[in-house]
Amino acid sequence: MKRIILSVVAPLALTVTVACGGDSTVDKLGKLAGEMCACKDAACAEKVDAKIKDLKKTASKPADSERAKVEELSMKIQKCYMDAQFSK
């Protein structure tokens, strides 16, 4: 079980941390965080995770002034992802 959690959370954290560039990207990440937290099952969480990975492909590295917000969103996404993965 711990291996599954680490194999899922670590790539997600990397994806989210790298995924932010300008303000519009941070806004998009915030919306994706909201989508992730609305997920009630693993299938939904996987779909949102795919959107985050797509965002990562087009985003630039976050500015220093955005890092705190990116980290906050990253933690929120990770928690919601795990909640959706292990919901009953």
Closest CA to 82 of 31, 50, 56, 46: 46
Give pLDDT, residue 20.
41
Give pLDDT, residue 88.
65
Parent domain of 28: 2-85
Helix, coil or strand: residue 22: coil
Give pLDDT, residue 68.
93
Residue 28's pLDDT band, with cuts at 50, 70 and 90, is: very high
Q: Which residues does 70 contact at the CB level (< 8 Å), separation at least 6?
A: 16, 17, 19, 20, 26, 29, 62
Query: How many distinct structural domains can be found in the chain?
Result: 1
pLDDT tens per residue across span 39-69: 999 999 999 999 999 999 988 888 899 999 9
Structure tokens at 22: 């300008």
Give the Cα separation of 6 and 31 in Å (integer). 24
Q: In this predicted model, which residue has the larger pLDDT, 54 or 11? A: 54
Give pLDDT, residue 5.
52
pLDDT at 75 over 90: yes
